[in-house]
Amino acid sequence: MSQAEVQARPRRSKLRSNEGKAGWIFVSPMLVILGLFLVLPILMAVWVSLLDWNTNDGDPFAGAGTFVGLDNYKNLLASEGLARQDFMTSIRNNAYYVLLVVPLQTALALLLASLINARRLKGRGLFRTAFFFPSITSSVAISIVFVFLFVGNGGVNKVLGWVGFSGPSWLTDPRGVFWILLDKVGLVDIDSPPGALAEHGVLGLSWWDWFAGPSVAMTAVMMLVIWTTSGTFMLMFVAAMQDIPEEIDEAALMDGAGGWQKFWYVTLPQLKPVLFLVLTLGLIATWQVFDQILIMTQGGPDKTTLSPAYLSYTASFTGQDWGGGAAISFVLFAIILTMALIQRWVMRDKDLPRKKRRGRTKPPPPAIPTRRDDKVAS
C-alpha cells in the first residue's frame, strides 16, 4: 500500500469526493493508447495466428483469410517441415546466445562496478561515462560500427593479426564454436561430422546441429550486445554496492578477509536482489534479440543467427505468412514467461536462514529502486 493511501484513508471527506471522476479522466489517455495499441493488437494477432492470411487477402477481421485452427502452431512445434526446422534453428541459436550473453554481461557488469567502486580510484566519473556511453546509443547506429569492425579485413582481425592470430571472416562464418573447439582437439572432423550425430536428430535438426554451439557470426553479435548492455547493469550494481553499509565492509576486513573473499562472502550476498534483477532483465532482453541481427547478419550465414523474433518478422513481412509469424511471436512470449518463472523459482530465497550469520542488517532493497540518483552520481 502506498504512503498516500495510508495517510488518506481516514480522511475520506468531502474534500476527496470528486476524485472518482477526475481519476478516470486522468487515466483515460493511458487507457485509450495502451488499449488501442497494445491490448487490442495482441487480440488481433491471436486471431491472425489462427489464419492462413496475407496482406493481399483483405481484412482478416472481416472474414478474409482461411481459418486453420492451431495449424500454424503445429507447423512450428510438431509437424515435420521447413517451418519447424527454421523455428527450431532459431530456438537453438537464441538459446546459446542467452546461455552465453546473460552470464558474461552480468559478470562484466559486476567487474566494472567493482572497479568503479574501488576506494582508491581517481577519475571515477570519467570511467563510468566511458562504460555507460555505449548503452545510450541507438542499436542500429552501433551495429553499423560493429559491422565495420568485424568484416573480414576489418579492425578486429587487424588487432588479432598483431598478436599472431588470423581471425575468421566473422559475419559470414556459419561454423559452430563447439565444432571448431572439438575439431581443434581432434575429437571430430568438422568437414565430415560423425554419422551417429549427423544422421539422427530431434525436432527437425540433427544432433550435430543442436550441439553446434553459437556460430562464429553469432559470437560477433554477442560481443556487441555484451559491450552495449554491461554499462547499464554496471550502474545498477554500483547503486546497490553504495547501499551496503560500510560497517559490514570494515567488519570483514577486521576479520582478515582478503579482497576476493570479501567480495565472494560479503559483497555478493548483499547484491543478491540486484543480481536477480539484472539476470531477469538480461534473460528477458536476450530472448528478444532483433535489431543487431537485422543490421549485422540478417539471420545468416546458414541461418545460424536467426532468432525467433527475427524469424517472426521475416516470416510475416517478407514471407507474407502472417499466421505463422504471429504464432512464432506467441510461442516466444510463452518461452520468455516460462524462463522468467523458472529463474524466479531457482533463485528464490531458499537459503535465507543459513545466510543469517553473514549479517543481513537491513531488508534487501526493493526490486525496482527509485531516487537513487543522488547517491550514485559522485
CA distances, 26 to each of 6, 22, 30, 177, 282 (Å): 21, 6, 8, 54, 33
Does 151 interact with another protein (rule: CB under 8 A)?
Answer: yes
Binding mask 100-129 for another protein (x = CB under 8 A): ------------x--xx-x-xx-----xxx
Closest CB 183 distance from another protein, rounded Å: 29
Window 167-226: residues binding another protein (CB under 8 A): none
CA atoms 59, 63, 69, 75: torsion sign: negative
- Pairing between β-strand 66-67 and β-strand 201-202 as defined by DSSP bridges: unpaired
Report yes or no: 206 and 200 within 8 Å, Cβ to Cβ: yes
Nearer to another protein, 89 or 157 (CB): 157
Cell of 158: 587487424
CB–CB of 8/15 below 8 Å?
no
Answer yes or no whether residue 254 interacts with another protein by CB under 8 A: no
Burial class from Cβ neighbours inside 10 Å (0-12, 13-18, 19+) for residue 188 reads middle
Instruction: State which of positions 255-274 bind another protein (CB under 8 A).
Output: 259
Q: Which is nearer to another protein, 249 or 291 (CB)?
A: 291
The window from 190-198, 204-212, 245-253, 277-285 that contacts another protein (CB under 8 A) reads 277-285
127 class by beta-carbon count within 10 Å (0-12 exposed, 13-18 middle, 19+ buried): middle
Q: List the one residue from 68, 85, 95, 132 that touches another protein (CB under 8 A).
A: 132
Cα 151 to Cα 267: distance, rounded to the nearest angstrom:
41
Looking at beta carbons only, is 60 or 301 nearer to another protein? 60
C-alpha 25: how far from chain center: 36
Q: Are 291 and 143 in contact (CB under 8 A)?
A: yes
Q: With CB under 8 A as the contact rule, which of the stretches 65-73, 168-176, 210-218, 276-284 interacts with another protein? A: 276-284
Q: Is 130 in the site for another protein (CB under 8 A)?
A: yes
Residue 101 CB, nearest distance to another protein (Å)?
15
| Listed ranges 56-64, 87-95, 168-176, 345-353: which one lies at the site for another protein (CB under 8 A) | 56-64
Check residue 48 for interaction with another protein (CB under 8 A).
Answer: yes
Of the pair 81, 259, the CB lying nearest another protein is at 259
Tell which one of 50, 51, 60, 270 touches another protein (CB under 8 A): 60
- Tell the smallest beta-carbon distance from residue 348 to another protein (Å): 18
351 binding another protein? (CB under 8 A): no
With contacts defined by CB under 8 A, name the span among 93-101, 203-211, 283-291, 346-354 that binds another protein: 283-291
Residue the block writes with cell 515435420 = 80
Show the site string, 328-347: x = touches another protein by CB under 8 A, - = not.
-xx-xx--x-----------
SS (H, E, C) 89-101: HHHHHHHHHHHHH
> Does 63 sit near another protein (CB under 8 A)?
no
Number of chain positions touching another protein (CB under 8 A): 108
Binding mask 18-37 toward another protein (x if CB under 8 A, else -) reads xxxxxxx-xx-xxx-xx-xx
Query: Interface with another protein by CB under 8 A: which range of 83-91, 131-139, 177-185, 202-210?
Result: 131-139
The phi, psi pair for 150, rounded to 5°, reads -100, 0
Part of the chain binding another protein (CB under 8 A), chosen from 4-12, 68-76, 81-89, 186-194:
4-12
- DSSP alpha helices (H): ranges in the chain? 3-8, 19-34, 40-48, 71-77, 82-117, 124-136, 139-150, 155-162, 177-184, 195-198, 207-210, 216-242, 246-254, 259-261, 268-270, 272-286, 291-296, 308-313, 322-346, 373-376
CA-based nearest residue to 183, from 193, 173, 174 = 193
Secondary structure letter of residue 300 according to DSSP: -
Nearer to another protein, 134 or 201 (CB): 134
